[in-house]
Amino acid sequence: MGPFKHLAMTCSLFLASVPLAVGQTFSSDRLEFRLETVAAGLAYPWSLAFLPDGSALVTERAGRLRMIRDGALEADAISGLPELVVSGQGGLLDVLLHPAFADNRTLFLSYAHRTGSGMTTRVAKATLQQDRLENVEVIFEALPRSGSTRHFAGRMAFDSSGYLYVAVGDRGEMDRAQDTADDAGGVHRMTVNGEPAPGNPGLNNSRINDTFYTWGNRNIQGMTVHPDTGDIWTHEHGPRGGDEINILRAGTNYGWPEITYGIDYSGLPITLDTRKEGMAQPLHYWDPSIAPSGMAFYTGSLIPEWQGDLFVGALKLRKLVRLRITDDIVREEEDLLTDFGERIRDVRMGPDGALWLLTDASNGKVHRLVPAQ
């Protein structure tokens, strides 16, 4: 039995074991739903991963990896994390399970790291044994480093071939996103050991770093796999306006900062161009910015009204966006949780059929979104 089938079988375990604090009910175009609080007291939770035994791992940007087991947040953090730094937008970021986690207990962490040369985004793999990480190994480090504390990106995903995708932001230094000899401002595709994946566009081109898959990306904080096509979908922060949803294609330049639908924070234009030959157009964009973070397709049976829809969390505008997309065109867009008042950091499809959300706060929470009835 594969690990993803094993995960699907944990649905009843989750429903039976999570002690729920039932919150308010919300309305949407297609159904009434409510939020159930699973855990609270987390310091800026950033990512969530479901384990085959029905427990879940939660990263705190403040530098801790936590476990929700038997429906409760354990008091003690997982030990053995790699050395990392918490500064600005950096800290402990994404957690992702190896596709064969049920057999090898391997997981991957993205995080900010500092040396005398500055800060950067790193990825380490490790083995989870009880409540400790062992065999911790750094497999990727974006170079060069810089003094910036912004735009680490850090979202990760696996494709159907078992290759790992890692997003690295432009570090707040926008021109780096067009420099393919600089690891900033793009998505890197690699094996589980950090080696360049076969077929990467830079393998036969000395001007492109060999782990690059795409570039011209500003700061990706949403990454998910399309349930039907297997394509990797991302979204990224624009400046003032120009948040984008993109489908990753090998060797594609997504344009930042040569083209954008946003303007500088000062109010001045970054560029007058929204299109250029050889640069991809987004599937969808927001203007004004919503500050997107977290991203998941709904694939469960608990809420059939939302089957196949894409959900995106929003930090700045404090909401959850539902998108119905067919033929790569947004046919419906609905804002949810607009009265909730919380910054949504991550959105995950749970093995129980619920949507799981993380709120970005010093007292961050883990919520399940379920039908009201």
Active site residues: 151
Number of alpha helices (DSSP H) and beta strands (DSSP E) in the chain: 3, 26
Partners of 304 in the β-ladder: none
How many of the other CB atoms lie within 10 Å of CB of 296?
24
Residue whose C-alpha is closest to residue 257's, from 150, 169, 188:
169
Phi-psi region of 171 (alpha: psi -120 to 50; beta: other; left: phi over 0): left
- Integer Cα distance of 220 and 151 in angstroms: 8
- Integer Cα distance of 189 and 219 in angstroms: 16
Residues with Cβ within 8 Å of 248's Cβ and at least 6 positions away in sequence, in order, are 165, 187, 213, 214, 231, 232, 233, 234
Burial class of residue 324 (count of CB atoms within 10 Å of its CB; 0-12, 13-18, 19+): middle
Element containing residue 102 per DSSP (H, E)? helix 101-104
- Integer Cα distance of 99 and 113 in angstroms: 26
Phi, psi at 290, each rounded to 5°: -105, -10
- Integer Cα distance of 150 and 204 in angstroms: 31
- Integer Cα distance of 59 and 93 in angstroms: 7
Residue located via tokens 């739903």: 33
Partners of 25 in the β-ladder: 34
Element containing residue 6 per DSSP (H, E)? helix 3-8
Q: Give the amino acid at 194.
A: G
Residue whose C-alpha is closest to residue 63's, from 48, 79, 75:
79
**SS3 state of residue 225:** strand
